[in-house]
Chain A
Amino acid sequence: MSGGLVLYDVPGPRARRRQVILAIVVGLAAAGLIALVLHRLNAQGQFEAKLWDPLVNPSDKNFAAVWGLIGDGFVNTMKAAALAIAFSLSLGTVIGVARLMLGRWTRIPLVGFIELFRGLPVVISIFFASRVLPDLGVDLSGWPGGEGLWFVVIGLTAYNSVILAEILRSGVNALPKGQSEAAVAIGLSRLQTMGIILLPQAVRIMLPALISQLVVILKDTSLAAVLGVYPEMLNAAKYIYLNLDNPIQALFVVGTIFVVINFALSKLAGWVERRLSRSKRSPGQDTDDEVRYITDTAELAQ
């Protein structure tokens, strides 16, 4: 955004000259660094065709198998992410609403639950799901998609539902007090107020944040590769380089796929945000600032 214009005056001729010189120096330095890295990689033979061909050349004998693996991994990544999003959204709504509606003392166990899962690394949550659940006699192996999928989904949901609940809660809290006062004044019950007045508005404000959370969940599916419980995309990359000895190339391709999808999702979030703040239905400028602020916050609470 135009953050720059807020901070400094429009530059005069001397400042502009200085900026041009600085720009050239920085540009050259960056280009030089990139050239150096490429040169070093080349010297190590990392651009040799036999390392790249299985990934980029359709006539290579392994090309089909390699992309089959990546394709499977991609589908698995998306499947886990989509399920985790769906469950986190529904569970998150329940938790968020419960936390808002319970009394000061009755919500203590819920807050404890939230703090617990917010404080655990996701990789540990997934590890927990895969090791402790079977120990407790929970058998997921008959579930559609296989138990590995559900370990990842449960681990991701445990964390993200709590985060979504908090996003939703801050959304409701950001609404002007008049909204709930008016609802009470026309005789709505507390649950009705929440369900038909506050929550719809809160969801609307938080939509960009919810979409940003997609990026987070998508990325976190890759933690399954660290544990080896689910064949997602990073796991596919591992089998490729174990068979073909091209770790840098395989990871580069898979990493790029992640960046492209997530970048597109971030752009989508930005687009939704702009559309929302352009429409004038919201109760004033304050809320718009709040929206941007909360959205940024949520995006960051990865």
Chain B
Amino acid sequence: MDAITDNLDLFVSGYWTSLKICLIALVGSLVLGTIIAACRVSPVAPLRWIGATWVNMIRNAPLTVLLFFFAFGLPEIGVLGSYWVFGVSALIIYTSAFVCEALRAGINSVSSGQAEAARAIGLPFGATLREVILPQAFRTSIPPLGSVLIAMFKNSAVLGAFGVGGDLFSVSDTLTSARGYAATPVLLGVAVGYLLITLPAGALLALLERKTAILR
């Protein structure tokens, strides 16, 4: 266990780095996912096509491939930036496809009678969306959205292989290869770190789910 006690500062800073990545990507992917979902249900055909292509391309490619194209494809076309930004952007874009689908499933689950009734009593489009559809859609979307976001927290572990240094997973690499520590205790430390992110997130989610549950 000296692998953990000797390097506690590394583990702690790795934990904070991973947490920071997760929180930024959380906000980013929710915003971007909502925009893409809006595109997918929009009346403008090219927007729908872009939304559909986006989702189908990104959802079906491994995150590792996407990360690669961010880290090496973007500089190739002259876009330079820190690998940290590239990595987090790739994570946001990857997750946005899933967020979009969760939201769309929510919107689809609202029966069409709701929107028709809203229009029948004279509510304009904005109000229909705001007052009738979205509140119901959002509640339905919470459980899948939660799974998506927790999956994203876990996916953030892959960023360490693409120039994003200092996160929990890279810590395990540094300790086991360059410094020659045995793998088991190091991995235990890293696993605990990730559980300290995902388990509280899961608990928070379950709470939110119960608070917003509707009788189905």
Asked if A255 lies at the interface with its beta carbon under 8 angstroms from chain B, I say: yes
**Is A7 touching B44 in the complex (CB atoms < 8 A)?**
no
Min distance, Cβ B179 to any Cβ of chain A, angstroms: 15
Asked if A48 lies at the interface with its beta carbon under 8 angstroms from chain B, I say: no
Interface residues of A, count at CB 8 A: 65
Nearest to A300 among chain B residues (CB) is B144
Q: A120-B194, A122-B154, A300-B102 are in contact. Are A255 and B65 (CB under 8 A)?
A: yes
Chain B contact residues (Cβ within 8 angstroms of A): what range? 35 or more
Chain A binding surface SS class: helix
Question: Which residues on B sit within 8 Å (CB–CB) of A8?
Answer: 43, 125, 128
**Is A119 touching B195 in the complex (CB atoms < 8 A)?**
yes
**Is A132 touching B60 in the complex (CB atoms < 8 A)?**
no
Nearest to B64 among chain A residues (CB) is A222
Q: A258-B60, A292-B109 are in contact. Are A297 and B128 (CB under 8 A)?
A: no
Chain B binding surface SS class: helix
Question: Which residues on A sit within 8 Å (CB–CB) of B78?
Answer: 40
Quick one: CB contact mask for B172-185 with A, threshold 8 Å, 1 for yes? Answer: 10001000001110
Quick one: CB contact mask for A253-274 with B, threshold 8 Å, 1 for yes? Answer: 0110011011100100000000
**Is B46 touching A30 in the complex (CB atoms < 8 A)?**
yes
Q: A127-B172, A251-B69, A263-B60 are in contact. Are A115 and B199 (CB under 8 A)?
A: yes
Asked if B73 lies at the interface with its beta carbon under 8 angstroms from chain A, I say: yes
**Is A132 touching B184 in the complex (CB atoms < 8 A)?**
yes
Stretch at the interface among A20-28, A58-66, A88-96: A20-28
**Is B187 touching A128 in the complex (CB atoms < 8 A)?**
yes
Nearest to A264 among chain B residues (CB) is B60
Bound CA–CA A37/B73 (angstroms): 10
**Is A131 touching B183 in the complex (CB atoms < 8 A)?**
yes
Asked if A215 lies at the interface with its beta carbon under 8 angstroms from chain B, I say: yes
Question: Which residues on A sit within 8 Å (CB–CB) of B68?
Answer: 247, 251
Bound CA–CA A19/B40 (angstroms): 15
Bound CA–CA A6/B136 (angstroms): 14
Stretch at the interface among B7-15, B23-31, B84-92, B155-163: B155-163
Q: A255-B65, A258-B65 are in contact. Are A293 and B60 (CB under 8 A)?
A: no
Which A220-266 residues have a C-beta within 8 angstroms of B?
220, 222-223, 225-226, 234, 247-248, 251, 254-255, 258-259, 261-263, 266
Bound CA–CA A72/B105 (angstroms): 38
Question: Which residues on A sit within 8 Å (CB–CB) of B73?
Answer: 248
Asked if A181 lies at the interface with its beta carbon under 8 angstroms from chain B, I say: no
Nearest to B134 among chain A residues (CB) is A7
Q: A19-B44, A123-B158 are in contact. Are A300 and B101 (CB under 8 A)?
A: yes
Q: A119-B194, A127-B172 are in contact. Are A23 and B110 (CB under 8 A)?
A: no
Asked if B45 lies at the interface with its beta carbon under 8 angstroms from chain A, I say: yes
**Is B169 touching A124 in the complex (CB atoms < 8 A)?**
yes
Question: Which residues on B sit within 8 Å (CB–CB) of A26?
Answer: 44, 46-47, 50
**Is A7 touching B172 in the complex (CB atoms < 8 A)?**
no
Asked if B121 lies at the interface with its beta carbon under 8 angstroms from chain A, I say: no
Can you report 20 residue pairs joining A to B where beta carbons are below 8 Å apart?
A3-B107, A6-B133, A23-B45, A23-B47, A30-B46, A30-B50, A37-B77, A119-B154, A121-B157, A124-B187, A219-B62, A225-B64, A226-B64, A259-B60, A262-B61, A263-B56, A286-B216, A293-B105, A296-B105, A301-B144
Q: Can you name 10 extra interface pairs (CB under 8 A) apart from A115-B202, A297-B102?
A: A3-B41, A5-B112, A37-B77, A127-B183, A127-B187, A215-B59, A258-B65, A259-B61, A266-B60, A293-B140
